[in-house]
Each structure stands twice: as C-alpha cells, then as structure tokens.
Homo-oligomer: A and B are copies of this chain.
Amino acid sequence: MLRINACLGIQGATYNERYVPGGYFDKIEFERLLEIVSEIDDVTGYFVYYPGHPLIDNPEKLKRKLADYNSKVSDIGAETWADRKWKYGTLTAKDKNIRKEAIKIIKNTMDLAVELDAHSVLVWPAHDGMDYAFQADFSGAWDYLIESLEEIGEYNSEVKVAVEYKQKDPRAKSYIEDMAKLMLIIKSLNVDNIGAALDLGHSFFAAERPAESLALLDRNNKLYQIHLNDNYRDADPDLLFGTINFWDILEFFYWLGKIDYTGWMHTDFTSPRDDRIKMFKLAIKFIRDFEKMAEKLNKHSDIIDKNLKNHNFVDNMTLIRELLFK
C-alpha cells in the first residue's frame, strides 16, 4: 500500500494568496494537527520543512513528538522562496551570497534529513526563471544551475535530493519547467543523488502525460517524490487530488503499480473554501480509490501492456471500462 503523508504547511496553513493576503483560514497548531491526523487512518508520515517548521531545530524532539502519534518524518523540504530576498532566484541568482545562502539552507536540510531519517529532501527553485524578454541570461543561468546542484549533490551523496519542476508561477517561465528539462540537467551533473519530485499538478500544468514522466524518471532511477493534487492544466491552484483528471491519474497509478516506488505520496493540495480536514480525508479516500482501481488493471497487465505495445487503444479502453464500470 502506498504511504501517505500530511504536512503542517499545507493542511494546517492559512493559505495567504495574492487576493486574500490575510489567508482563508486560521492556522492549525502543529500539536493540534497531529491530534487530528492521528485519528485518520492511512496517514503514516509528515512532510516537514526547514527553516520554520515547529521543532525543526531539535530533530530528536521532533522525532519523539511524531512517534508519540505513531508517525514519522516522510520527507523534508528546503524553504527558499517565501522571503523577498529570493526574488531573483536561488540556484541561478547572480549574487553569489544569495546562491550561497540558498545552498546553505539546502545543505542544512540534507543534514536534517539524515537525522530525521527522511526519505528525501525537496528543492523547489521557485524564483529561478524569467517574466520578460530581455530579462534572463539563459546561458549564465544554466552554468549556475549546474554548479549549484553539483555542490548540493556532493555535500552528501547518501541523501536523495528531489528537485521540483514547475512550468511557471511565480515566474512567467521557470528554468526547470518540466520533467525533460530536469532530466537534461540531471544528466549534465557529475553527481548521482539529484532526482525529481513529480508533482502531479505540475506535470499536468507542463502539458505532460504524468505516466510518461513517471516512466522516464523511473528508467533513470530519479523518481524520489510524488506530490498529489489536481488542476485543469492551465494553472496550479493545487486542487483536490482526484477531482479533475480521472483517466490520466488512473494511467499514472497503473504505471506506478509497475515500478518499485519506495517514496511517499505527498498530499499537496490547498483548500481555501472547504473544511480542510474533510478535504484531506476525501483526498486520502481518492488515493486509495485510484490505488484499488489500478490494482484491478494491473492484474490484467499482460493484456493491457500488449495493447499498449500494439497501439491498440480501443481494445484497451473497452477492457478497462468493463473492469471499472461493469
């Protein structure tokens, strides 16, 4: 069964956005979230972040606190976007001190990952990109990107570092916009522990088929994290997982069932207008629904895969429809 986590910064957050700067919710305190989540089946880990997460400066205490609730750290994110100082980017910023500062945060996060026994570290270069023509030095940015990622990878080759790609937002275009660009960068590195976070919503946003991105990342042993949410492929509001792209998600879970993914399913969605905890519970139900439907299909993978190989869509979908809806 897939392992699912919760996250204070998501399920407990106020969700301040541009048009509602005060946020849609009051914050849920960490202890309170632990209590709430402990009553939900199927959630066995926490995605934490550095800096800023409660108890993050005392990893032992954080571990014990989580253990009190029969939980543990799943993965840990390096937060390098919420301060305006990152506005020109992190890994690609011209200012050497800014790059250094960002890399230092990531290294600290890697240390914490070891102490917390986290599966992997998340790096999202949110501001590394451009908005306008004549704003970016594409070639220089590439150099910085390689240099920064190699320094990160070399710091501790035992720690998996998952880079999160995203087409755009907050920049009109990111440097690392899709799976292929990220893999191209990874192939250019002289380190082996830089991989990918496949955020389902970002994959849709980048006009990918998530199952293809999963398959190609897995071929290269670079699939370190999966983030679950949904969208209409035109923006990334982190909508509730499972509510929009039914078939693509099913295909994604089908391929997931074919590989040996040892990471977590990160419940990475926002819920500005609905009860957050109810939404979280519904998300988990949907994860299990897709897992079960995919299992049903995986039992027939000999036929389904043969149809895939033979470009035989109509027989495949006829079969799948019968397996699911009859």
Contact = CB atoms under 8 A, between A and B. Distances in A.
B184 A317 contact: no
B279 A314 contact: yes
Given A134-B304, A135-B311, A173 B320 contact: no
**Number of copies of chain A assembled together:** 4
B243 A317 contact: yes
A179 to B, nearest CB: 8
A25 B83 CA distance: 11
B311 A88 contact: yes
A87 interface: yes
A151 interface: no
A83 to B, nearest CB: 7
Contacts of A278: 314-315, 318
Interface residues of A, number: 102
Given A17-B18, A136-B308, A246-B247, A286 B321 contact: yes
A161 B71 CA distance: 55
Interface stretch (A29-37, A56-64, A229-237): A229-237
B235 A169 contact: yes
Nearest to A88: B311
A139 B247 CA distance: 19
Interface string A104-143: 0000000000000000000000110011111111111010
A263 interface: no
A273 B321 CA distance: 19
